[in-house]
Amino acid sequence: MNKNNSSQISLQEKYDYLKTEFKQVLKGKIVKSSEFFDEEINDIIERKDSKENIFFLKRLIDSVGDAVIATDKDGRIIYWNRSAEKLYKWKAEKVIGKNIVDVTPTKTSKKQADELIKTLINGDTWQGEFEVQDKNGRIFPIHVTDSPVLDENNELAGVIGVSKDISEYKELVNELLMKEIRFRELIYTINSGIVIYEVKNEGLTGEDYIIVEFNQYALQHERKNKDEVIGKSLKDIRPNIDDFGLIDVFRKVWKTGQAEFIPAKQYVDKNFSNYYENRVFKLPGGEIVAVYDDVTVQKKVELELRTSEKRFRTITEDSPDAIFITDLNGHFRYINNSAYTMLGYAQSKLKGKNFIEIIPPEKHEMMQGLFQKALNNEHIFTETELVKKNGNVIPVDLNAMKLPNDKIYGSCRDITERKKAEKKIIQQNKEYESINEELLQMNNELKTAKNKAEESDRLKSAFLTNMSHEIRTPMNGIMGFTELLKNPGIKGPQQKKFIDIIQKSGARMLDTINNLISISKIESGETEINYSQVNIKEIMQDNVLFFKPEAEKKGIQLKLNSQPEGILIIKTDRDKLQSVLTNLTKNAIKYSKKGTIKTGCYLNNNSIRFFVQDEGIGIPKDRQKAIFKRFVQADIEDRKAFEGSGLGLAICKSYVDMLGGEIWLKSEVNAGSTFIFTVPFQV
C-alpha cells in the first residue's frame, strides 16, 4: 500500500492492526511487515531486525494520540505509551509492573466491571466510558476500548486498553443537550402549533410528511396524545389537507429550502372548520417544520366586520335619507345617493365642500354651534333647512353625531310633506277652535236658555204657590167674615171689627193684584217712564207720614232721618220713586218686631242716595242677591209668618234700573237691614 493510501486509514483500523502486531510481540515473534505503513517503514521491518522492529513499534504506539496501556492478565502494567503518560501524568517507568487499578483508580459500577471482564474473557473487545483519576487526583471521563490478548490456548493473557479524555466532548454534549432541552421547552410551551415532519421519499417528490415532533399546543388543538400522532402522516390527522394546500407548500419549501407563509385559510373536515395561518420552513436535516396559529376567532370577527360594513354601506346607499359624513372641519367625505337626489346635485359635485354651503345663511350660526356640540360627542337632533342647487330650501330633520374614526355623521330626512301636513293640521286646528268657540257659545246660550226655562218653570211654580196663598188667604177672610155679617145678631163693635178684617183682606188682595199688574207690565215692556219735576223732600215726608200709624201699631218708630238742605226738585218718575220707597218702608215694618226705622236721602256726586234702615230680622248673606228676583223670599221656611208675594223687591229693582239708578242692601241677621238706592240727580 502506498503512502497516500496509508494516510486514509482510520485510527480504529490502525489500532486493530497494532493489536495484532502487539500480540505477536508478546509471544516473542517478529512482527511482519504491514501494508498500513509506508515503504520506508516497511524497509526497516523487512530487515528482520527484531530490536529495531520493536523500537519502531514502540515509537509508533507512542506517536498515537490516545493512551495505549497493555496489562497482563492480572492487570499488571506491561506497556504505557507517551499519550498515557500525558493523560494520566504517570511516567512509564513509574507504573510498569504496577497494577492498573492502583495507578488509575476508576469509577465503574459493578455491573460495568463484570460486563467488561466477561467480554474480554470471551475474547471480544469492550468499549465504554467511565471516570478515572490521574496522578494529580483529577477525575475525568474517558472513552476506553479494551481488547483482550489471548494465548495459544485462547486464554486471556493480557489486555490492551486504548483510552482518551472525553471531558471536552462531554461538556460539548452537555451544552448541546441543554440547548436542545431549551429548544424543546420553547417548542412545547409556545402558543402556536409546531409540527416537525420527516419527508418520506425525500430526494424524489417529497410525497408524504410523517410527524416526528408535535408540540403541546398542537396536541391540545388536535385533542390527541403524542402516541396518536408521532409516526403518522399529516394526511392521517387532517384528511382534507390536500384541499387546504399545505402539502403543496411543503413540497415547495422542501424543494427550494425557502420559508413560506400561508395567510389565514379555512380547513374543513368533519371535526374542524377553522382558519389557520401557517409558516413553513426546512430544517438543515431536511425535515419540514410547520408553525401554525388558529385564527378562526379573528377571522370570524373580521368577516363579521366586513359583512356589517357591507350591510351598513348598503343601508346607507339605499337609505331614503340624505347621509353625509364629514371630517372634523365639516368637509364632506361621504355623501349617499339620496343626498345628491335630494339636493339636485350631480354625483360627486358636493365632495370636498363644507356642509355649511348647503345651509341657508340665516341658519349658519346655529348649525356651526350644533357642529361644535357634535364634535364634543353630543348627539344632535334638530329641525333645520338645506339649500338645493337651484336655491330652493327643503325642511329636514337632522340627526348628527361624532363617529369613532374622527368623522361627523349626519342624516337628513326631508320633512316637506310633514311640514305641509303640520300646516294643514294647524289650519284645521284653528278652524276647529273657531267651531269649538261657536259651539261653546251655543252651549252657553243653550245653558242660559235652559236656566231661563228652568227659572221660569221655578218662577211659575213659585208664582202659583204664592198667588194661591196670597189670593186665597184674604179671599177666605172676605168670604168668612161677610158670611158672619149676614147674622142679624152681629152688631156694634163686633160688626165693625169684622168689616175691618174684610177691608184689610181686600186691601191685601188689591196690593197683590197691583204688584202682579206692575210686574207683568214690566215683563211685557209696557211700563213707561213718566218724567216730571218731583219734590223729593215732599215725597219722603209723605212716605213717613203715611206709614207712621202702621209702624207705631207694631211699636216701631219711623223717622225721616236726614235730608239735604233746601228744596230738592229733580226730574224723575214720581210714581215709580214713590213705589220703591213704599215697598222698602213696608218691608222694613213687616220684617221688624221692634226698634226704629230710619229713612232719608242725601246727595252723592251726581245722584241722590235714598236709604231705609231697620232693626229687624235681617237677611242672611247668601240670600241678599236672590231677594231681588221675582217671587223669591229670604227665608222660605218663615214665609207664612210674614205674608207677601215676593214681588216687591223685584219691582223696586226694575223701577230703579228704569230710573237710571242702582239698588243694594247691607244686612245682618237679627241686627237689621239697610236698603239703599240711587236716582240720577237731574233737573
H helices of 290-415, in order, are: 296-318, 337-343, 364-375
Q: Quick one: 147 or 592, whose CB is closer to ligand ADP?
A: 592
For residue 70, give the DSSP letter.
E
Q: Any contact of residue 644 with ligand ADP (CB under 6 A)?
A: yes
Helix axes 39-46, 50-63, angle to 10 degrees: 150
Q: Any contact of residue 648 with ligand ADP (CB under 6 A)?
A: yes
From its phi and psi, is residue 428 left (phi > 0), alpha (psi between -120 and 50) or beta?
alpha
Looking at 673, 676, 677, 679, which residue binds ligand ADP (CB under 6 A)?
A: 673
- 586 close to 638: Cβ distance less than 8 angstroms: no
Q: Quick one: 411 or 592, whose CB is closer to ligand ADP?
A: 592
**Minimum gap (Å) between residue 535 Cβ and ligand ADP:** 26
Q: Quick one: 336 or 645, whose CB is closer to ligand ADP?
A: 645
| β strands within 346-457, DSSP E | 380-387, 393-403, 407-414
Judged by CB under 6 A, the number of residues near ligand ADP is 19
3-state helix, strand, coil in the chain (%, to 5): 50, 25, 25
Cell of 200: 418520506
Q: Any contact of residue 634 with ligand ADP (CB under 6 A)?
A: yes
Cell of 70: 497493555
Looking at 16, 208, 293, 635, which residue binds ligand ADP (CB under 6 A)?
A: 635
Q: Binding mask 200-219 vs ligand ADP (x if CB under 6 A, - otherwise)?
A: --------------------
**Minimum gap (Å) between residue 501 Cβ and ligand ADP:** 20
Q: Binding mask 603-632 vs ligand ADP (x if CB under 6 A, - otherwise)?
A: -----------x-xx-x-------x-----
Q: Any contact of residue 645 with ligand ADP (CB under 6 A)?
A: yes
Q: Any contact of residue 647 with ligand ADP (CB under 6 A)?
A: yes
**Minimum gap (Å) between residue 613 Cβ and ligand ADP:** 9
- 334 close to 325: Cβ distance less than 8 angstroms: yes
Interactions with ligand ADP, residue window 561-590 (CB under 6 A): 587-588
Question: 485 CB contacts (<8 Å, ≥6 apart)?
Answer: 495, 498, 499, 502
DSSP string, 593-632: SSSEEEEEEEEETTEEEEEEE--SS---GGGTTGGGSTT-
Residue nearest to ligand ADP (CB): 644
Q: Quick one: 158 or 616, whose CB is closer to ligand ADP?
A: 616
Looking at 358, 536, 539, 649, which residue binds ligand ADP (CB under 6 A)?
A: 649
Q: Any contact of residue 633 with ligand ADP (CB under 6 A)?
A: yes
Of 21-29, 287-295, 296-304, 645-653, the window that binds ligand ADP (rule: CB under 6 A) is 645-653
**Minimum gap (Å) between residue 605 Cβ and ligand ADP:** 26
Q: Quick one: 542 or 635, whose CB is closer to ligand ADP?
A: 635
Question: 567 CB contacts (<8 Å, ≥6 apart)?
Answer: 535, 537
Q: Quick one: 134 or 662, whose CB is closer to ligand ADP?
A: 662
**Minimum gap (Å) between residue 479 Cβ and ligand ADP:** 23
**Minimum gap (Å) between residue 542 Cβ and ligand ADP:** 20
Of 17-25, 203-211, 271-279, 643-651, the window that binds ligand ADP (rule: CB under 6 A) is 643-651
Q: Quick one: 509 or 634, whose CB is closer to ligand ADP?
A: 634
Q: Which residues of 19-58 are buried (b: 16+ CB within 10 A; e: fewer)?
A: bebbbebbeeeebeebebbeeeeeeebeeeeeeebeebbe
- 60 close to 19: Cβ distance less than 8 angstroms: no
Question: Order of strands, edge to edge, in the sheet holding 208-214?
Answer: 208-214, 193-200, 288-294, 273-282, 260-268
Q: Quick one: 539 or 580, whose CB is closer to ligand ADP?
A: 580
Distance of CA 51 to the CA centre of its chain: 108
Of 208-216, 516-524, 601-609, 633-641, the window that binds ligand ADP (rule: CB under 6 A) is 633-641
Interface contacts to ligand ADP, rule CB under 6 A:
587-588, 591, 614, 616-617, 619, 627, 633-635, 644-650, 673
